Amino acid sequence: MEMLNILIIDDENNIREILADIINLNCKDAKVIGFAEDVKGGISAIKKYKPDIILLDIKLPDGSGFDILSEIQTDEYNFHVIFITAYEQYAIKAFKFSAIDYLVKPVDPDELLNAIERCRILYKDEFKNKIEAYSYNSDKLTKNKKLLLKTQYNVQILEIQNIIRCQSDNSYTTFFTSDNRKIIVSQTIGEYEKLLNEFGFFRIHQSHLINLEFVMSFDKGDGGFVIMKDKTSIPISFRKKELFLKVIKTYHNIFK
């Protein structure tokens, strides 16, 4: 297996040492080739070492990790980035929407090793898409977010306002969109419920997460069904029925 060269850019010396120790002790096919502690040093180190992977702190003394990426012409380099961040809920949600690998301080060794392994199979164009999606999602003035989905064959970007519903099949989730796309990803519906519930989505059944904007009607027969604008009928679980009726009255103010 090809050796991966890793560059660590973080302004905290102890973090740099911990990350390097985790890699050196656990990765036979990866090695730390250099360090930097700020934007200026990071840019110089990338040009000098030409790493395969960069462990990149977001907040640096003279700017941010994104300043480094904007300064470097990524077409000239073939690296992937794993971001390091202190816990900031808004930033974390933007990362999740964009499917970007990130590690929260203090870094969990297993999460670091798993992120490095994912970098092995990540295509360069995928990373570019992820960075563009993150840049869009991290803008607090942007009301509609973009959700990046990695399928078995490619990466697709959806505006969440165009997602009609999600349907679960064990550890897989299928997205149905207003432009008639059907996208299957190998992630549980529970993960997407956490991301989407503040954007008008409601999980009405163990297997179904719906966008309330696309609800057309409610059928009380056979325990209760929601009719979506794509003409699908989605069952409501008994324990979610009362809450759904309250939520939908508030959201659309049309059901009595």
Task: Please give the chain's pLDDT, 256 residues, in tens.
Answer: 578 999 999 999 999 999 999 999 999 889 999 999 999 999 999 999 999 899 999 889 999 888 888 888 655 667 888 888 886 665 676 677 655 788 888 999 999 999 888 887 665 556 666 666 666 666 655 667 888 887 877 778 888 899 999 999 988 999 999 999 999 998 899 989 988 988 889 999 999 999 999 999 888 777 788 999 999 999 999 888 888 988 888 876 654 4
Task: Mark whether 69 and 190 lie in a shared domain.
Answer: no
Query: Domain containing 22: what range?
Result: 4-137
Q: Looking at the domain assignment, is residue 198 inside a domain?
A: yes
The four Cα atoms 161, 165, 169, 174 give a dihedral, to 10 degrees, of -50
Q: 86-103 b/e with 16+ CB inside 10 Å = b? A: eeeeebebbbbbbbbbbb
Q: Which of 143, 155, 144, 149 is nearest to 172 (CA)?
A: 149
Task: Mark whether 174 and 112 lie in a shared domain.
Answer: no
Instruction: Quickly list H helices, the chain.
Output: 13-26, 39-49, 65-71, 89-98, 109-120, 124-137, 189-196, 238-252
Q: Looking at the domain assignment, is residue 86 inside a domain?
A: yes
Task: Mark whether 158 and 183 lie in a shared domain.
Answer: yes
Distance of alpha carbon 155 from alpha carbon 99, whole angstroms = 10
Amino acid, single-letter form, for residue 106: P
Q: How far apart are the first and last CA of the chain?
A: 63
Task: Mark whether 55 and 85 lie in a shared domain.
Answer: yes
| Domains contained in the chain, number | 2
Task: Mark whether 15 and 122 lie in a shared domain.
Answer: yes
